[in-house]
Amino acid sequence: MIVFYYVSVTLNSADIDCHEGWITPIILLASMIVILYQFWHVYQEYISYETRAHQAVGRLSTMVSVINKLTRFIPPQVWEPIVKSDSPVTVSNKRAKLTIMFSDIVGFTELSDSLSADNLADILNTYMHCMTLIANKHGAVLDKFIGDGMVCFFGEPNSRGARQDALDCIAMAIDMRREMRTLRQKWRLMGFEGLYIRIGITTGYCHVGNFGSNNRLSYTLIGKEANLAARLESSAGKDEILVSESTYDYICHNYECHHAGAFKLKGFDSKVNAWQVLDPDAHKGFLSKWVDHTLPGFNLHLNFKDMKDNDYQDIRARLNFALERVEQEQEKVAADIAAASKRNDHH
């Protein structure tokens, strides 16, 4: 500013002849130096800003990557409000009406004694992956994995009403049982037999929220109803979904159930009535979307929901081939019986 002020004053002087002397070149040179210095200064600021911007983008990408990894350990219903609104996280919980589901794999403990750790981990990870997808599809809060079991609940932090929460939980449990049938067929081909799911469900008031300390928190639930769901799951048989009376009252108009009996459960003074939820498709006769039948040496599993239009011809061809083989074996057995009968008559 001083240089340009001096230039303006000097050039306005009537005594200056711009075509002679050394004052004019010096002024022009000084002006060029100032302008070049300003360009250089702006360029350096731009380079510095660009470097800081790249560093900020790198830190942001790293932070997003870390958050994405950490969120895999936390239910989306818990971390999404924290990320979106930066809401405070404290040790807090409240009493709420929940529908709680406990599930595990029948026969997994016995199978673990005869399998290698690699095969065991593969089976368990496949099972948990499929069940987690189903839980997320139905909007359940996946509380935790317990060995080969899992705990889910509906009602917090987003509830659709006690009745709808119970219906959503039953729909999820039925989908899990159907998915287990598909997994069982795959595992059976790999030589792993006898893996079934069992599920216990109840509806009631529990305390749900953040439990722990300021340094370590866990979003979970505690209460007698959670214990009841766990006891019902332990009492269920292979592929059975047992529900308590409180859940049955909500779902009985939408799902066919039959009374499984009154169970004496650990931690409960009086017997607890339980109902078994039947598969809606399995009890619609010809409208069934599932066909599942097992005999020694024979496994039939049809899931019409997953079949495509161009699959039916191939399925029919394979069934016809299998039927021809059955007829051939039956004729062979009949011929062997006839030959044995002739030998007996000859003797």
pLDDT of residue 152: 93
pLDDT tens profile 56-72: 888 888 888 887 777 77
pLDDT of residue 284: 56
User: Cα–Cα distances in Å, from 71 out to 65, 79, 305?
Assistant: 10, 7, 32
Q: CA 291, CA 147: separation in Å to the nearest integer?
A: 30
User: Cα–Cα distances in Å, from 77 out to 74, 80, 260, 277?
Assistant: 8, 6, 34, 28
Q: Which CATH architecture has domain 98-288?
A: 2-Layer Sandwich (3.30)
Name every residue whose Cβ is closer than 8 Å to that of residue 149 and which is 6 or more positions away in sequence.
102, 103, 104, 105, 233
Size (the chain), residues: 347
Q: Quick check: helix, strand or coil at residue 21?
A: coil
pLDDT of residue 3: 64
Cis peptide before 88 (omega within 30 of 0): no
Q: Quick check: helix, strand or coil at residue 270?
A: coil
Nearest residue to 106 via CA among 175, 184, 169, 174: 184
pLDDT of residue 166: 94
pLDDT in tens, the chain (347 residues): 676 676 666 666 656 555 666 766 777 787 788 888 889 999 999 999 998 898 888 888 888 888 777 777 777 777 777 777 777 777 788 899 999 999 998 878 777 777 788 888 888 899 999 999 999 999 999 988 888 889 999 998 888 899 999 999 999 999 999 899 888 888 877 777 778 899 999 999 999 988 888 788 888 889 899 999 999 999 998 889 999 999 999 998 888 899 999 999 888 888 999 999 998 866 554 445 666 666 667 777 777 767 777 888 888 888 888 888 888 888 888 888 888 777 776 66
Nearest residue to 184 via CA among 316, 276, 300, 278: 300
* Domains in the chain: boundaries: 1-13+24-73, 98-288
pLDDT tens profile 194-247: 788 999 999 999 999 888 887 888 888 898 999 999 999 999 988 899 999 999
pLDDT of residue 205: 93
